[in-house]
Amino acid sequence: MAAALLDKLTAQVGLIGLGLMGSRLTRRLDTFGWRIRAWNRSPKPAEELNRWGITIAPSIGALVAQSDVILSSLANDAAVRSVYFDDGGVFLKANPGTVIVEMSTISPELSRRLHQEARARGIKFLDVAISGSTPAVEAGAVTLLAGGDKETFEQCVPIFESIARQWFLIGPGSSGVQMKLVVNLLLGLDMQAIAEAVSLGEHLQIDRNVMLDVLSKTAVVAPAMEGKIRKIRDGDYSPEFPLRLMSKDMSLVMDAATTSGADLPAASLALSVLSANVSASGDLDFAAITPYVIDRGSETKV
């Protein structure tokens, strides 16, 4: 017999990680009437959501022990390891039968370890990567890429309906994270290509606004990149997807390529450009590589 679908009227949902993505997921679930509480490692984001009306748990242990469903959205492998495996962390406090939806972009190796630990403890676990930036999260227009068992995936559909436009079960545990790396490889290369196209256009002295307007209307520019072209036009690199996270994701892509034997020369170049900008522009949107690419071209010409 299939497990019952999650019910917003009865399920207690715990949110872990209240950064750019997690805070927006929390607000959407609250808006859609889910019974939610949240927790964050640093207090300021939690205080902001508490002013919104979200209940903040006093500790991660208290959140997990009283939750039927847990969603986590964290920055990197180190944060996920700490939250799940440290004393008082998720795995020590979660009750058997708890559903965990882990939404961070992490290494496939860590994702597989999380699945293994969850199985050993009788916990239902999905890795569900998010494809889409912060405006898409706010609009409920993201795509979800899941890895895990079909029954748990189907049980979580009511939550997916509240936060996403579409959702896919890619395969067994860690498949969602692996698919996210494939998707973000394209995202990183698309941004690199646009930055170089803009650089070429400027060096050819094409009117900047005309060039960007035409680029945004061509079939070769992916819909996800239209917002990046607007950022370039306005010189507004406020973060929708921070450059430091894009750099982290491309590092994960290259690690996965090394492990699997894939040869990704263009991705290697894109990572080098991102890495060169992390110290100065890491908290800006990853479209901020564009002025760097333009300036580097000018220096080369000189």
Q: Is residue 155 part of a domain?
A: yes
Clarify whether residues 82 and 188 are in a common domain: no
Domain boundary among 172, 205, 220: 172
Spatial separation of the C-alpha atoms in residues 36 and 12, rounded to whole Å: 6
What is the DSSP annotation of 106-160?
Answer: --HHHHHHHHHHHHHTT-EEEEEEEES-HHHHHHT-EEEEEES-HHHHHHTHHHH
The pLDDT assigned to 299 comes to 59
The pLDDT assigned to 301 comes to 54
Integer-rounded Cα Rg, in Å, for the chain is 20
- Name the 3-class secondary structure at 68: coil
Q: Is residue 188 part of a domain?
A: yes
Clarify whether residues 168 and 186 are in a common domain: no
Q: Residue 302 — pLDDT band, cuts 50, 70, 90?
A: very low
Q: What CATH number has the domain bearing residue 54?
A: 3.40.50.720
Clarify whether residues 163 and 286 are in a common domain: no
Clarify whether residues 167 and 36 are in a common domain: yes
The pLDDT assigned to 223 comes to 87
The pLDDT assigned to 287 comes to 97
Would the pLDDT of 2 be above 90?
no
The pLDDT assigned to 298 comes to 63
Would the pLDDT of 173 be above 60?
yes
Instruction: Tell me what percent of the residues of the chain surpass a pLDDT of 70.
Output: 97
Spatial separation of the C-alpha atoms in residues 161 and 135, rounded to whole Å: 17
Cβ distance 103 to 128 under 8 Å? yes
Give the Cα-Cα-Cα angle 291, 293, 297 (nearest 5 degrees). Answer: 115
Clarify whether residues 96 and 191 are in a common domain: no
The pLDDT assigned to 44 comes to 92
Among 67, 168, 79, 161, residue whose Cα is nearest residue 126: 168
Q: Is residue 4 part of a domain?
A: no
Domain boundary among 172, 201, 220: 172
Spatial separation of the C-alpha atoms in residues 93 and 300, rounded to whole Å: 56
For range 215-219, the mean pLDDT: 93
For range 63-89, the mean pLDDT: 96
Helix residue ranges, H only, the chain: 20-31, 43-52, 60-65, 77-85, 90-93, 108-120, 134-139, 150-155, 157-163, 175-203, 208-216, 223-234, 243-260, 265-281, 289-301
Q: Is residue 32 part of a domain?
A: yes
For range 24-48, the mean pLDDT: 95
The pLDDT assigned to 296 comes to 84
Domain boundary among 172, 201, 228: 172
- Name the 3-class secondary structure at 87: coil
The pLDDT tens digits for 222-279 are 888 999 999 999 999 999 999 999 999 999 999 999 999 999 999 999 999 999 999 9
Clarify whether residues 189 and 159 are in a common domain: no
The pLDDT tens digits for 98-147 are 999 999 999 999 999 999 999 999 999 999 999 999 999 999 999 999 99
For range 181-198, the mean pLDDT: 97
Domain interval for residue 130? 12-172
Average pLDDT over the chain reads 95
The answer to whether the pTM exceeds 0.85 is yes
The pLDDT assigned to 300 comes to 54
Q: Is residue 6 part of a domain?
A: no
Clarify whether residues 29 and 161 are in a common domain: yes
Instruction: Tell me what percent of the residues of the chain surpass a pLDDT of 90.
Output: 95
